[in-house]
Amino acid sequence: MADSSDSEQFSDGKSDDDFEVLSGSSESEDEMNEVPMNANPWFRVLPPEIDYLHDQRFVENSDPQNVPAADAKPIDYFLLFLTLDFLRHIVRETNRYAQDFITSRQRIRRFSRLHSGFKVGAVTLAEMKGFISVILNMGLIRKPSITEYWNTKFPSQDTVWFRDIFSRNRFQSILKFFHIVDNTTLPNRNDDNYSPTSKWIFLIDNQNYITNQNRTLVLIKV
């Protein structure tokens, strides 16, 4: 009876065929594991690198070059990057764009800010310096809109300095016509040579040139 019950317990489980399948699968896995791996796997062969600096030592002078004197004022460092020649270039292109714009708009109202803003004359170098200083100070003194810098309604919010530099109309006129390049020299949008950076790449090139003039990298052969 014990033998029959034991056989019944085994019969309730998996059949002998099932065990044979499992054993067969394990044997197949063993056979796969016995497959020898490639002792020489494929890999890309690249030419040897040439050590150009084998007989040289790279030395970088970390000190800035051609800088103002130790007792120089902050404006001297400012003009180191925005040179007078570059500021004159901006003045010239701003006046050019303003004149071209006003000439091409025949129906601008007589008392429009565009006319009155330049009726006092073209933008000068001194005004361009003041314009940039106003822009920088607007980044320090935050207000909800440009007109608020000239608002005198609330004494607690009055910023006299901005009015001392420019009238509101004059500042907004310069802001509208501020230009770095001559538009007539730029390719059209449909042109193959057109680049979205064309209106300000001159500024980047100028700053890179100035930076290169004030640093020194030296290769010393030992």
pLDDT at residue 178 in the model: 94
Average pLDDT, the chain: 76
Ranked by mean pLDDT, which of 118-122, 132-136, 194-198 comes out on top?
132-136
Query: What are the residues whose beta carbons fall under 8 Å from the beta carbon of 207, sequence distance 6 or more?
Result: 81
Tell which residue, 196, 136, 188, 184, has the closest CA to residue 162.
136
Stretch 61-69: mean pLDDT, rounded? 72
Sort strands 216-221 and 56-61 into parallel, antiparallel or unpaired.
antiparallel
Would you say the C-alpha torsion 136, 139, 142, 145 has a positive or negative sign? Answer: positive
Is 183 a residue whose pLDDT tops 60? yes
Question: Does residue 87 or residue 35 have the better pLDDT?
Answer: 87
Question: Does residue 174 or residue 41 have the better pLDDT?
Answer: 174
| pLDDT band at residue 57 under the 50/70/90 scheme | low
pLDDT at residue 47 in the model: 75
Where is average pLDDT lowest: 34-48, 186-200, 203-217?
34-48
DSSP 122: S
Categorise residue 111: left if φ over 0, alpha if ψ from -120 to 50, beta otherwise.
alpha
Stretch 131-154: mean pLDDT, rounded? 94
Is 3 a residue whose pLDDT tops 60? no
Stretch 145-159: mean pLDDT, rounded? 92
Q: What is the pLDDT of residues 119-133, one digit of tens each?
A: 557 899 999 999 999
